């Protein structure tokens, strides 16, 4: 069934069970061990960069056998730099004569043989020259003579073409096997070039096509080995010679070889190729070439156009006649990317409007827009398209208007953004969180440049542009409205300053063209944006300079927007502006600025605004200044690549735009002052009136203040909520977010909810019922209020640019350790009382403690060899090495004692923040940490996954001033409203931005608000953000680094000496088990390795398959094993259908899995142990990203969440209505029966007794003899509900939680809903539609997406029934289920390749095969769909159950 399924990737290591999992404790000590050695804090051992591999055999009896061929490595081995100790050790070994016959175990065991150094490996070029010289002296220069003779033959090609061809063939082979040094010494390059160019250009040799082919190939080989010869060839007119061959193509192989050679020349001398006119010749016969040759031809064009100059316009104009149709119709992604480089270079070099308008016709613009919107376009190409469009829009009003009138631009940009959505129907605000920031920036800038410039350019400096949109049509009005809505969504969903500035510029250019009829709903969105931005940024005016510029720039933008809006629609918007509290905010802002002006903090100057903004201390858009200078020839190609290196391709110089105005504090203060002054005067002339409805709300608040609802019945709660609803929504009146906050209504409702809903479900249930259809609108108001109020700060690590982000995880910091006790008394050597060292910032203090013990042991050993060398102490002899195992060190700073589980960065970060120093101090200065010895007798524990965020306890104070709004949102979340409605775009963007600081995450210093909200208000964030948060905070250092490397697009090409590669090692356990006892062996694995931080990989006895496929099959089989009826874990319908055994009964529970109530006849210990294993199993699957096949009921996780949440939270009384609701998901028939009992007139006639339906469990003492009657019905129902959903299953759920928490805390799962958890366990709908398969499948190596076989395969797959789908996935991946996200989430992607028949057999006689590690499906080219279907089904059924070679 399976190919040899091996894992790959440089980040995978096979290790034994004592090895560290995460690599979090690697450190570098200049005076001791190197950074390649890491200390495992859990095992108490040092480990090396090359970890160990151990194959374990686990049989049914639990016996373990070590595999014979597993590698064992000395734990002290390392591949590091020389130290004094190493040199002395090697010298001592040599002197003692142990260099022979002794296995090396020192620090060079892995990378150096014993004996003398191999100079040939160090200086190969020098020895090559010396050897050549010796050979020449010994042989009389025979090699040179031979080469010279061959070159002479080439020069005489017109006399004897055959001899010349054979000579060229031999020269070409020599060039392939030599290097540049040898070529320079023994090849007469000038003569060889002259001879080759003569062959290619000589009219007498035009008919010698084979000779010309060999000549061109020899020329190409010469260029490759000696790039300097390219310049010589260009000077000899080689470009023209090669171009002449294209004039008449009679030999396709020669034409393609010429393309190869010309492409090599274009990488260094593209401008010469452009001037020669050869580009048109390259494109002339493009359709006749193979795809490889087509790519080369287009690459020549791309390389030549990357540095276009103004004087080359005529050549480019001629070239574009051929280039445009190719670009418009191209489908190959490589060709498209190269053509985009060409267009990008042309836009960067030709900046005149008339030039660009003549080149970029509307069909080219449409193609660019199409590439922006389609999913297959890579991010880099998408941004290039937007950059090209930005250049065109910046210089041409004609193109701007044509695009606005003709194209559906909002649809284009929406489709572009949807490409990054995690689900098909994701809301826009959810999708925007995952759009790369550079793309958002490019979109916002393009939209801003699309419209005419604003009257007063406060934030922009692009050239003024006018477009006549006065007679805009209904279509144009719709376009403007859609653009405004899209821009507001982008503004709310990002915290990037430059993106937000571009959005504000674009809105300021759109609003003047809005008609009164278009300002209804759109106006309210703009007003809310203005209100929330003013509320959050006015306080920043008194902060440090950089924050002033960020917040001040936003203030200027929204004030300008407000000024434009009120100037045009004052009568329409002033009431809404007043109700949103904007008038008060502007008045307060004006008061602050007026006071600052009087204090002389800024000066009002009357001069050119560009001069004002350009003063010192300004902050401008990164890389957004248009450069006008011309490139120098030296800068173009050669100098940037060195003397002998040829780039793979010439990338165009980045286009830089002058759009965003540089800002400084005085400019910001002055403009904000002017705008706020004008608006304040406008508001003072238009005083508002107190709305009558607000008086009723004030009265309601007073009544709520006096309310005592302790004894409220359900009807009383309904009356109260009805009054609240009618005050919030009264006819056409709807309370604004500002009024909700300022009136005190939000605070009073929050107090009411917090006080009474924690003990009863009645307030919650009646609230949801009374508000009904108004509830969604209330949630929108609450979200607006939250966006306005929240002021949570993003924590940064103090590193910027290339040092920030994921690179910060590999950063080292300098610390000075100072002993804070009596060194003599504690037997600390004097030279160890003060130590300065460099250490990885994510290493823990526990690691530091182990390092100190290691250094003390070293010192004692040296002192025992040479007494008095280091120190002498009377206590030394009394302290042997065993004592060190009981030593611990306490670390502290000036702020107090540090937690030993803190990271170095976390400890220093907290200290710096507590002392109110700048964060940059962490990296600029040596940080002092004091330490002293303390005794600790704790026995070392088994390695476990380290979790930084399990002990954080904090109250709602961290949420101020938004705690009331959050309480109300949490209260309303119990409704059945769509989850999208509760996602707060702004907070989600903030959390995503916070997680872009991995050092803050790994350092254990995430801000409290992020920890509190994800645990207590997870509904505020989309699923993908919460999953990423869970992985970052709960999966350990090693996985955090691996996740971040993947998140940032760092592939497996990372060099071995990359700190992240060393630090992010996640070790792997390979465990070999027997298929015959898989479930029992699996339980033993969970028992022994369940809590291990390593990745578990499974192999099977007598099978060659390894890696992902067998491991996924193990998880699928274990999932099935846990679903067996015979285990006694689950409720099930005895008459359910499904897979049947020999007796006609299904051995598995076919319904949703929910715990059965414990009975006195069951082995309670065994049941609870199985639930414990199940918890560990589910946690392991999440940790290792494995797919499960468990059909768990969502109520299982809902009740588990409630049990986990009990700590510190008062328990609600058992609410019968709520329990019946839960029961309807577990046993709908029983729930209906219990409800029906309340309507039964004669209960005694039913002869029900007090036993649990379906179980032999007495609900009360002697319950079998007690009949249910009207007098005890309530007691009976409560007992049934309690045994089914309460005490009857509480032990099982608690055992599951405990088992789960052995891997990582179950409390971490509180940020996921029960519905999301059951989906992660395998209960999800899968999309097998043809559209999805076409979008997800990759055809390669013999197939393309147009192949008929691929069409047949997709048809066959889309018509599979449920059983066949499971079998196919099991066959392909090892698991019968797809990951969350379906086929699109398969990693690697499902790839179909051609399987060639062998031994004279036909394709129809072959079965398909797979490589589960790569999701490779090897499919023969069958003659029909019917044959294909039958062969695939046969392979699925016969190939299951073993991983063998195919």
The residues annotated with a catalytic role in the active site are: 1413
State the Cα–Cα distance between residues 648 and 226, nearest whole angstrom: 15
Q: Which residues pair with 730 in a beta bridge?
A: 733
Both tokens assigned to 1210: 């008062």
Give Cα separations from 1275 to 167, 978, 1159, 1234, 1270 (angstroms).
105, 36, 20, 12, 10
Give Cα separations from 130 to 141, 182, 185 (angstroms).
13, 11, 12
Find out whether 1414 and 1391 touch, Cβ atoms under 8 Å: yes
**CB count, 10 Å around CB of 1350?**
19
State the Cα–Cα distance between residues 982 and 265, nearest whole angstrom: 59
Find out whether 365 and 324 touch, Cβ atoms under 8 Å: no
Task: Encode 1071-1087: b = buried (16+ Cβ within 10 Å), e = exposed.
Answer: bbbeeeebebbbbbbbe
Find out whether 448 and 506 touch, Cβ atoms under 8 Å: yes
State the Cα–Cα distance between residues 507 and 528, nearest whole angstrom: 14
Packing angle of the helix pair 985-994, 1023-1034 (nearest 10 deg): 30
Give the CA angle between residues 809, 813, 815 to the nearest 5°: 145
State the Cα–Cα distance between residues 1181 and 1188, nearest whole angstrom: 7
Q: Which residues contact 119 (CB under 8 A, 6 or more apart)?
A: 127
The torsion of the CA quartet 1054, 1058, 1064, 1065, rounded to 10 degrees, works out to 80
Question: Which of 314, 323, 319 shows the shortest CA–CA distance to 350?
Answer: 314
Q: Which residues pair with 1130 in a beta bridge?
A: 1155
1140: exposed, middle or buried (Cβ count in 10 Å: 0-12, 13-18, 19+): exposed
Q: Is the dihedral of CA 1053, 1058, 1064, 1066 positive or negative?
A: positive
Strand ranges for 728-833 from DSSP E: 729-730, 733-734, 812-819
Find out whether 1298 and 1327 touch, Cβ atoms under 8 Å: no
Question: Which of 148, 227, 239, 248 shows the shortest CA–CA distance to 195?
Answer: 148
**CB count, 10 Å around CB of 1002?**
28
The owner of tokens 């090599």 is 264
C-alpha count within 13 angstroms, C-beta hemisphere, residue 997: 22
Q: Is the dihedral of CA 178, 182, 184, 190 positive or negative?
A: negative
State the Cα–Cα distance between residues 461 and 453, nearest whole angstrom: 9
Give Cα separations from 1245 to 1238, 1241, 1267 (angstroms).
14, 9, 10
State the Cα–Cα distance between residues 147 and 142, nearest whole angstrom: 9
Find out whether 710 and 762 touch, Cβ atoms under 8 Å: no
Task: Encode 557-568: b = buried (16+ Cβ within 10 Å), e = exposed.
Answer: bbbbbbbbbbeb
Question: Which of 1183, 1185, 1189, 1192 shows the shortest CA–CA distance to 1302?
Answer: 1183
């Amino acid at each position: 069934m399976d190919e040899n399924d091996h894992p790959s990737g440089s980040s995978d290591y096979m290790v034994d069970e004592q090895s560290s999992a995460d690599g979090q404790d690697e450190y570098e000590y200049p005076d001791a061990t190197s950074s390649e050695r890491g200390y495992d804090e859990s095992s108490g051992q040092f480990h090396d960069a090359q970890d160990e591999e151990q194959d374990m055999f686990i049989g049914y009896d639990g016996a373990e056998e070590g595999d014979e061929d597993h590698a064992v490595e000395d734990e002290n081995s390392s591949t590091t730099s020389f130290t004094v100790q190493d040199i002395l050790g090697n010298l001592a070994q040599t002197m003692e004569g142990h260099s022979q016959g002794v296995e090396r175990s020192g620090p060079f065991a892995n990378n150096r043989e014993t004996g003398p150094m191999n100079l040939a490996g160090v200086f190969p070029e020098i020895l090559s020259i010396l050897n050549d010289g010796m050979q020449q002296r010994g042989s009389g220069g025979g090699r040179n003579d031979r080469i010279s003779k061959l070159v002479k033959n080439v020069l005489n090609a017109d006399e004897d073409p055959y001899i010349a061809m054979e000579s060229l063939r031999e020269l070409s082979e020599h060039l392939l096997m030599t290097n540049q040094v040898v070529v320079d010494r023994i090849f007469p390059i000038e003569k060889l070039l002259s001879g080759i160019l003569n062959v290619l250009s000589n009219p007498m040799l035009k008919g010698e096509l084979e000779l010309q082919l060999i000549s061109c190939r020899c020329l190409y080989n010469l260029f490759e080995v000696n790039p300097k010869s390219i310049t010589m060839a260009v000077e000899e007119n080689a470009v023209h010679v090669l171009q002449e061959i294209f004039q008449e193509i009679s030999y396709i192989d020669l034409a393609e070889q010429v393309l190869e050679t010309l492409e090599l020349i274009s990488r260094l001398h593209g401008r010469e190729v452009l001037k020669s006119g050869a580009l048109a010749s390259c494109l002339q016969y493009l359709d006749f070439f193979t795809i490889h040759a087509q790519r080369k031809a287009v690459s020549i064009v791309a390389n030549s156009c990357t540095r276009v100059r103004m004087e080359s316009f005529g050549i480019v104009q001629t070239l574009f006649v051929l280039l445009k149709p190719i670009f418009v119709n191209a489908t190959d992604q490589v060709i498209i990317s190269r053509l985009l480089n060409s267009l990008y270079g042309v836009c960067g070099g030709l900046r005149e409007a008339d030039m660009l308008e003549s080149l970029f016709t509307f069909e080219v613009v449409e193609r660019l827009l199409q590439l922006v919107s389609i999913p297959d376009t890579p991010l880099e190409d998408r941004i290039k398209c937007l950059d090209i469009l930005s250049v065109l829009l910046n210089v041409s009003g004609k193109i701007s208007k044509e695009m606005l009138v003709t194209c559906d631009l909002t649809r284009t940009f929406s489709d572009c953004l949807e490409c990054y959505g995690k689900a098909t129907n994701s809301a826009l605000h959810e999708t925007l969180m995952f759009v790369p920031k550079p793309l958002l920036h490019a979109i916002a800038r393009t939209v801003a440049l699309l419209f005419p410039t604003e009257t007063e350019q406060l934030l922009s400096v692009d050239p003024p542009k006018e477009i006549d949109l006065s007679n805009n049509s209904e279509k144009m009005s719709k376009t403007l409205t859609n653009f405004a809505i899209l821009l507001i969504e982008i503004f709310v969903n990002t915290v990037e300053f430059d993106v937000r500035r571009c959005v504000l510029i674009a809105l300021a250019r759109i609003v003047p063209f809005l008609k009164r009829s278009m300002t209804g709903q759109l106006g309210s969105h703009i007003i809310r944006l203005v209100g929330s931005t003013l509320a959050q940024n006015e306080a920043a005016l008194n902060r440090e300079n950089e924050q002033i510029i960020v917040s001040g720039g936003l203030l200027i933008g929204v004030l300008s927007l407000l000024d434009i809006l009120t100037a045009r629609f004052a009568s329409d918007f002033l009431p809404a502006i007043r109700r949103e509290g904007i008038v008060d905010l502007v008045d307060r802002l004006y008061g602050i600025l007026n006071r600052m002006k009087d204090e002389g903090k800024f000066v009002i100057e009357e001069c050119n605004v560009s001069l004002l903004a350009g003063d010192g201390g300004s902050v401008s858009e990164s890389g957004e200044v248009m450069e006008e200078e011309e490139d120098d020839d030296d800068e173009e190609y050669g100098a940037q690549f060195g003397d002998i290196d040829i780039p793979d391709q010439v990338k165009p110089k980045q286009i830089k735009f002058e759009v965003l105005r540089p800002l400084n504090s005085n400019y910001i203060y002055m403009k904000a002052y002017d705008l706020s002054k004008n608006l304040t005067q406008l508001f003072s002339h238009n005083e508002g009136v107190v709305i009558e409805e607000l008086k009723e709300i004030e009265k309601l608040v007073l009544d709520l203040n006096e309310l005592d609802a302790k004894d409220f019945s359900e009807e009383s709660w309904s009356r109260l909520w009805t009054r609240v609803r009618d005050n919030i929504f009264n006819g056409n009146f709807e309370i604004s977010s500002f009024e909700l906050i300022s009136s005190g209504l939000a605070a009073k409702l929050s107090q009411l909810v917090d006080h009474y809903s924690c003990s009863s479900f009645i307030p919650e249930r009646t609230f949801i019922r009374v508000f009904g259809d108004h509830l969604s609108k209330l949630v929108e108001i609450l979200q607006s209020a939250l966006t306005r109020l929240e002021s949570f700060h993003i924590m940064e690590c103090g590193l910027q640019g290339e040092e920030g982000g994921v690179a910060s995880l590999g950063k080292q910091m300098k610390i000075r350790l100072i002993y804070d006790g009596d060194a003599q008394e504690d037997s600390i050597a004097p030279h160890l009382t003060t130590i300065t060292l460099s250490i990885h910032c994510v290493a823990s203090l526990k690691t530091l403690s182990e390092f100190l013990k290691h250094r003390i042991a070293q010192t004692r050993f040296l002192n025992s060899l040479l007494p008095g060398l280091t120190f002498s102490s009377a206590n030394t002899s009394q302290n042997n090495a065993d004592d060190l195992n009981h030593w611990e060190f306490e670390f502290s700073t000036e702020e107090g004692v540090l937690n030993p589980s803190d990271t170095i960065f976390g400890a220093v970060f907290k200290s710096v923040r507590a002392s109110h120093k700048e964060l940059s101090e962490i990296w600029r200065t040596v940080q002092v940490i004091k330490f002293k010895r303390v005794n600790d007798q704790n026995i070392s524990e088994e390695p476990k996954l380290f979790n930084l965020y399990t002990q954080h306890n904090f109250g709602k104070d961290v949420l101020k001033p938004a705690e009331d709004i959050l309480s109300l949102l949490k209260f309303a979340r119990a409704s059945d409203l769509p989850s999208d409605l509760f996602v707060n775009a702004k907070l989600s963007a903030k959390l995503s931005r916070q997680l872009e600081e991995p050092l803050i995450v790994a350092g254990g210093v995430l801000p409290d608000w992020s920890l509190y909200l994800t645990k207590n208000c997870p509904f505020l964030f989309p699923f993908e953000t919460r999953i990423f948060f869970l992985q970052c905070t709960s999966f350990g250092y090693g996985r955090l680094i691996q996740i971040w490397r993947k998140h940032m697009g760092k592939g497996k090409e990372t060099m071995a000496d990359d700190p992240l590669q060393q630090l992010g090692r996640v070790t792997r356990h390979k465990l070999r088990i027997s298929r015959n006892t898989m479930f029992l062996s699996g339980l033993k694995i969970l028992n022994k390795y369940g809590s291990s931080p390593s990745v578990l990989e499974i192999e099977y006895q007598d099978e060659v398959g390894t890696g992902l496929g067998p491991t996924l099959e193990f998880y699928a089989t274990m999932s099935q094993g846990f679903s067996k009826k015979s285990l006694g874990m689950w409720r099930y319908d005895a008459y359910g259908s499904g897979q049947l055994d020999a007796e006609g009964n299904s051995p598995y529970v076919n319904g949703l899995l929910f715990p059965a109530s414990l009975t006195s006849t069951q082995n309670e210990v065994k049941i609870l142990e199985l639930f414990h294993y199940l918890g560990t199993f589910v946690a392991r699957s999440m940790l290792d990203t494995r797919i499960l096949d468990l059909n768990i009921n969502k109520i299982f996780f809902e009740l588990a969440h409630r049990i986990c949440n009990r700590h510190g939270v008062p328990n609600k009384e058992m609410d019968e209505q709520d329990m019946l609701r839960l029961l309807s998901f577990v046993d709908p028939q029983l729930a209906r029966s219990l409800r029906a009992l309340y309507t039964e007139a004669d209960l005694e006639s039913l002869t029900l007794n007090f036993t649990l339906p379906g179980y032999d469990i007495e609900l009360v003492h002697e319950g079998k003899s007690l009949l249910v009657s009207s007098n005890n019905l309530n007691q009976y129902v409560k007992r049934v509900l309690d045994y089914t959903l309460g005490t009857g299953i509480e032990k099982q759920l608690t055992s599951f939680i405990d088992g789960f928490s052995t891997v990582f805390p179950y409390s971490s799962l509180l940020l996921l809903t029960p519905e999301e958890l059951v989906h992660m366990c395998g209960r999800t709908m899968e999309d097998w539609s043809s559209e999805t398969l076409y979008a997800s499948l990759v055809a390669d190596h013999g197939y393309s997406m147009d192949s008929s076989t691929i069409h047949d395969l997709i048809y066959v797959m889309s018509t599979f029934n449920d059983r066949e789908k499971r079998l196919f996935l099991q066959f392909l991946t090892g698991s019968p289920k797809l990951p969350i996200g379906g086929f699109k989430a398969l990693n690697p992607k499902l790839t179909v390749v051609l399987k060639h028949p062998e031994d004279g057999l036909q394709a129809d006689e072959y079965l398909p095969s797979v490589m589960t590690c790569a999701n490779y499906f090897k499919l023969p080219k069958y003659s029909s769909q019917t044959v294909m279907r039958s062969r695939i089904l046969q392979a699925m059924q016969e190939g299951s159950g073993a991983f063998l070679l195919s």
